[in-house]
Amino acid sequence: MFSSFMINTWIAGTAIALVAALVGYFVVIRHSAFAAHALPLGAFPGAAAANLLGVNPFVGLLVFVGMGVLLLRQLARIGRRDVGTGLLLVLFLGVGALFLSMTSEYAPEVFSLLFGEMLGVSDADLWPILGICALVSVVMITIFRPLLLDSSFPDLAALQGISAARMDLIFLSLLALVTASALPVVGAFLVFTLLVGPPAAAQSLSVHPLRSLLLAVIFAESCIWSAIALSYWTNWPIGFFVGMLGAGLFTLARSYRHWSQRERPVVQVSGL
C-alpha cells in the first residue's frame, strides 16, 4: 500500500485534506455550499482544454476556475444568486463536455476528471499541489480573524472597516485554489464532499472556532486516508469512498449531537 507509486498520492492527499478542511470551515459558516459545488465543476473544462491543447493541466484548471470566480460574482449581482450559480455551473460543464468530445479518449477521461484518479499524481504534479496548499494555508492564517468576523458577524466586521466584497473575493479565490489542486486526485464532484462533509460534522460537535477547525482537519485527514486505503484494496473509485465517508461522518456527528442534547436540555448559545 505504501509502495513507491502510491507515495505521491498519500502526500498529495494529506496536503489537500488539510487545506480543504481549513477552507471548508468557512464554506460552512458562510453558507456557500452551492458555490463550493459550482467552482470545482467550473474548473473541469480547464482540465479538458489543457488536454486538448497539450499544456500543463494546472494552467487550464487555474485559468478556468479564475474565470469561474469572476463570472460567479457578476451573475450574483444581476439576478438571484442560486440561479446564477447553477446556470454558470452547467454552462461550464457543457463546455467541458464539448472539449472532451473533441478528444479521442472521451469516456475514461470524463470518468477520471469527474470522479478522481488515485494514481493520477505524477512527480511533476506533486510540487504545484504542495505549493498551492502552502500558499492557501499561509493566506488563511493571515486573514483568519477578519474572515471569521466577516463570516459570522458581517455588521460588526463592516464597523471595523473590513470590506465584505473584498473578503468574498479572497474567500472565493482560496476556494478556487483548493479546487484546482484537489481536482486531479479526488475529481470534480467529490472535492465538494471533502470541503463540506468534515467541517459540517466538526461544527455540529463544537461551536468553538479553533476546536472545530482542528476537528475538521482530523476528520478530513481520516476521511481521505481511509478513502485511499479502501480504494487501494478494493480497486473501486476513490470518489465513492470520499462521498460515502463524508456523508457517514456528517450523519454520525448529527445524531450524536441530537442524542446528547436530548439527554441534557441546555439552551445552546450558537454564536457562530
Partner 1 sequence: MFAFLSSQPVQTALIVGSCAALISALIGVFTVLRGNAFAGHALADVSSAGGAASFLWGISPLLGFLGMAWIAAFGMEFLGVRKARERDLATGIVLGAGLGLSALFLYLDVTTTSTTGAAVSVMFGSLFAISQGLIWPAILAVLAVFLLVGLFYRPLILTAVDPDLATLRGVSPRWMGLLQLLVLGLAVAVCALAIGAVLATALLIGPAGAAIRLSRRPAQAIFWAMLVALTAVWLGIWMAYESYYWFSGNAWPVSFFVVALIFLFYLLAMFGSSWHQKYQRRSIASLRRLQEP
Q: Using CB under 8 A as the criterion, which residues of the chain lie in contact with partner 1 when the complex forms?
A: 28, 31, 33-34, 36-37, 41, 78-80, 82-87, 89-91, 93-95, 97-98, 101-102, 106-108, 110-111, 114-116, 187, 189-190, 192-193, 196-197, 200, 236-237, 239-244, 246-247, 250-251, 254
Contact predicate 174/136, CB 8 Å: yes
20: left (phi over 0), alpha (psi -120 to 50) or beta: alpha
What's the min distance (Å) between Cβ of 52 and partner 1?
12
Contact predicate 219/21, CB 8 Å: yes
Residue 36 or 140: which CB sits closer to partner 1? 36
Q: Which residues contact 79 (CB under 8 A, 6 or more apart)?
A: none
**Residue 152, phi then psi, degrees to nearest 5:** -95, -40
Residue 160 or 234: which CB sits closer to partner 1? 234
What's the min distance (Å) between Cβ of 131 and partner 1?
27
> Residue 224 and residue 231: Cα distance in Å, rounded?
10
Residue 157 or 245: which CB sits closer to partner 1? 245
What's the min distance (Å) between Cβ of 124 and partner 1?
26
Residue 57 or 96: which CB sits closer to partner 1? 96
C-alpha cell belonging to residue 205? 460537535
Query: Cβ–Cβ contacts within 10 Å for residue 15, how many?
Result: 23
What's the min distance (Å) between Cβ of 240 and partner 1?
4
